[in-house]
Amino acid sequence: MSAAAPPLPFEASRLPAHLAVIMDGNGRWAEARGLPRAAGHRAGTEGVNRVVRWCREWGLRHLTLYAFSEQNWGRPEEEVGALMSLLAEYVREQRAEILARRIRLRVIGDDLAPNGAGRLPGWVRAPLRALVEESARNEGMTLTLALSYGGREELARAARLLAEDVAAGRLRPEEVGEGAVRARLYAPDLPDPDLVLRTSGERRLSNFLLWQSAYAELCFLDCAWPELTAEELLAALQQFAARERRFGLTGAQARAARAAP
């Protein structure tokens, strides 16, 4: 059982509604300790448990975690196997807590989408899908796992679905706009992330939420994912709260838009 979250040092209304995280640095964390990379992913899973708990306690609405990218399938078989085992274990061991905390679990990525590639082993997919369904009506916090996920793949799929709809006469080409693309993403109803955070000192998006991050604030932390503390996460959230988001408008316009009822 992880420790309780420290209190939020600012108004919960200043939290991002949607925090998306690239949980990077598990491998290097392990290697620096002379451990196998799988040990880093195990420590990373404990990090997931802590961060989910803190975010839930702070009242965050949406947390999305980049758990396994489309490109991660190219990692050594042993590492992919270790990550699959950890995912299955996560669902098994956290199911009760997820339900008790009224968390809604969602998955974005090719695997659980209709007509997906189906690369996740059945013993990962089945319990995951079951918990997604079981928690579907929970309203506490939405925890979305990006799994077998790639932003380019998501956009290519949306383009394919659009082409199919146009070819079948269900959509006119002139109706293809931002809304039509968004409607064909894995989770169209999920709000865009307000803050994308990446650990481990790397400063890139790595194919994560490419469409959805168009106006996200970005924050890069130097610590590896397994060693992220509540204080470091709070500092990042506080930094977010202090930023002015203008969405292409002038500062004065953006302030007026925020003040409008």
Question: Which residues here bind ligand FPP, judged by CB under 6 A?
Answer: 23-28, 41, 44-45, 48, 65, 67-68, 72, 83, 86-87, 90, 145, 200, 225
CB 15, min distance to ligand FPP, A: 21
User: Which residue is at the shortest CB distance from ligand FPP?
Assistant: 27
Min dist. Cβ of residue 23 to ligand FPP (A): 4
- In this complex, which beta carbon is closest to ligand FPP, that of residue 158 or of residue 236? 236
DSSP 202-234: ----TTSSTTTTTT-EEEE-SS-GGG--HHHHH
How many C-beta atoms surround the C-beta of residue 227 within 10 A?
Answer: 15
At residue 43, φ and ψ (nearest 5 deg) are -65, -35
| Closest CB to ligand FPP among residues 216, 224 | 224
Report how many helices (DSSP H) and strands (DSSP E) the chain contains, helices first: 8, 6
Q: Give me the active site residues, please.
A: 24, 72
Rg of the chain over all Cα atoms, to the nearest angstrom: 19
Nearer to ligand FPP, 48 or 233 (CB): 48
In the bound complex, what is the minimum distance in angstroms from residue 240's beta carbon to ligand FPP?
A: 22
DSSP 4: P
CB of 47 to ligand FPP, least distance (A): 6
Nearer to ligand FPP among residue 90 and residue 208 (C-beta): 90
68: phi > 0 → left, psi -120 to 50 → alpha, else beta; which? beta
